[in-house]
Amino acid sequence: MYTLEIGASARTDLRRLDAAIRARVRTKLERLRETCDSQPHKRLKGKHRDKFSLTVAQHYRILYTFDRRTREIIVHRVGHRRNVY
């Protein structure tokens, strides 16, 4: 299992989300934490090419990086897709 680190920007993003979306984000993050090695990751392009994206509730995204060696996931941003990229 991976450890999960929520960055400062992501913490701010989470506080601004509706409670229902925030709950769905938590569920997705827990699932990612448990299955990070076995699930496919969507790599981003452009200025975020070092990050990956996870879809939540159709229009919301989690931007994260992970390191298999240290078994750590770092969440950088969480929010509506028009705002996080």
CATH code of residue 54: 3.30.2310.20
Residues 6+ apart with CB under 8 A from 28: 54, 56, 62
Q: What are the tens digits of pLDDT across the range 5-54?
A: 999 999 999 999 999 999 999 999 999 999 999 999 999 999 999 999 99
Tokens of 40: 């496919």
Number of independent structural domains in the chain: 1
Report the pLDDT value the prediction gives residue 62, as an integer from 0 to 100: 98
pLDDT of residue 53: 98
Owning domain of residue 51: 3-80
d(CA 18, CA 20) in angstroms, rounded, equals 6
Strands annotated E in the chain: 3-6, 42-43, 52-56, 60-67, 72-80
Does 26 fall in a domain?
A: yes
Rg (CA), the chain: 12
The pLDDT score that the predictor gives to residue 18 is 94
Per-residue model confidence (pLDDT) at position 59: 96
Which residues have a Cβ under 8 Å from the Cβ of 4 and sit 6 or more positions away? Answer: 29, 33, 72, 73, 75
